[in-house]
Amino acid sequence: MKIWVTGIGGCLGSNLTSTFASKGYEVGGNDILRKEEAWRLHDIIYPFEYVWCATEDLDKSLLEKYDVVIDCSIGFPDRPFGTLSPIKTFYDNIQPSFFLLEKLRRIEKKPHLITPSSFNVFYGLDSPKITEKTPVQPSTLYGYTKASVEMLVKCYGNTFNIPYTILRVGSAYGEKGRGDELPHKIILYALKGKKQFILRSPKAKRLWTYSGDVSSFYLKLIEHLNEVKGETLHLAGNRGDQIVENIELYNIIVSLIDSNMECVEGEYEEGEMVHGKPIDFTIDSSYTRKLLNWSPQYDLGEGLLKTIEWFKECQKKYIYG
């Protein structure tokens, strides 16, 4: 099987490339970074095709050679840039997916499109129990762009017979992650010996998923392509499905690092407060897990420990400053 990954140089795209290549799949991908600048790919020893271009500029004839396309090029950060530059957030989250769909509809033998979305599409709900069938109700521009892409994929998929699967992805963390993601930012501050950390949205909740579980999920997905056509699935959780407030996450991390860094509770970011209360939710992913025979193998503490060790190694190599 041949798998194309857009946004291959990002945290998700690079982890998936390494995972798929190590299992014998033929992998290729594109990114707006030069290959030599895509440092997350430098440890991948397996051969893979790399095209330096935006998804909008991909050649249709290239995609025709692949069986699966995983669209990781729409992962524009949600906070705080989404509120500070809404026009760029809108274009960068929707435009690549739209142009990709336009190319796929013109291919005779269409590859299976996998689109990672976000649980941000639900943050307008009031303490919901979210299932795979829960209607979207976003509360932020970022959530609306993710919901819009979901609708585009469904529209193009059903109209032009493009096989597709949409994934609602929980808050992911782990190796190669963005430095501004909350767990990674706390880890970096603590490892650098910072005295104080300003924690925004302290009581808002998240269901964190370790990158190792994300990779194992995608492997299961690839093995069950026929069963997941047209499905919207949940890629979320940890062993025990522990949903924690941001302040709880902070306390776990500083305890694991044995740091004395002081936490200062900051303001709530836009979309982190719904109906006057911090984001609170539960997720029922039983349909997805039964369909794929998959469940997370790492609990929150185990994943954080592995992530801390990885960032320690990065410090030795002067990565992340």
Q: What is the 3-state secondary structure (H, E, C) of 89-156?
A: HHHHHHHHHHHHHHHHCCCCCCCEEEEEEEHHHHCCCCCCEECCCCCCCCCCHHHHHHHHHHHHHHHH
- Give the burial class of 159: count Cβ atoms within 10 A of its Cβ; 0-12 exposed, 13-18 middle, 19 or more buried: exposed
Residue 190 has what DSSP assignment?
Answer: H
State residue 159 phi and psi, 5-degree precision: -80, -40
What was the pLDDT predicted at 80? 59
Is the C-alpha dihedral spanning 169, 171, 175, 179 positive or negative?
Answer: positive
3-state secondary structure of 85: coil
Other beta carbons within 10 Å of 311: 20
What was the pLDDT predicted at 279? 86
Query: Among 178, 161, 98, 44, which Cα is nearest to 28's?
Result: 44
State residue 129 phi and psi, 5-degree precision: -100, 105
pTM of the predicted protein model: 0.94
Residue 75 reports pLDDT greater than 80: no
Give the CATH number of domain 2-174+210-238+281-298.
Answer: 3.40.50.720
Which band of pLDDT confidence, cut at 50, 70 and 90, is reported for residue 249? very high
What was the pLDDT predicted at 321? 58
Across the chain, mean pLDDT equals: 92
Instruction: Report the half-sphere exposure of 277 (CA within 13 A, side-chain side).
Output: 10
pLDDT tens per residue, range 178-225:
888 999 999 999 999 999 999 999 999 999 999 999 999 999 999 999
What was the pLDDT predicted at 82? 61
Report the pLDDT averaged over residues 61-65.
95
What was the pLDDT predicted at 83? 64
What was the pLDDT predicted at 271? 75
Residue 270 reports pLDDT greater than 80: no
Domain extents in the chain: 2-174+210-238+281-298
**Whole-number Å distance between alpha carbons of 68 and 1:** 8
User: Is the pLDDT higher at 43 or at 81?
Assistant: 43
What was the pLDDT predicted at 76? 62
pLDDT tens per residue, range 127-170:
678 999 999 988 888 889 999 999 999 999 999 999 999 999 88
3-state secondary structure of 35: helix
**Whole-number Å distance between alpha carbons of 142 and 89:** 7
Report the pLDDT averaged over residues 284-304.
96
Report the pLDDT averaged over residues 293-314.
95
Give, for 174, the enclosing helix (H) or strand (E): none
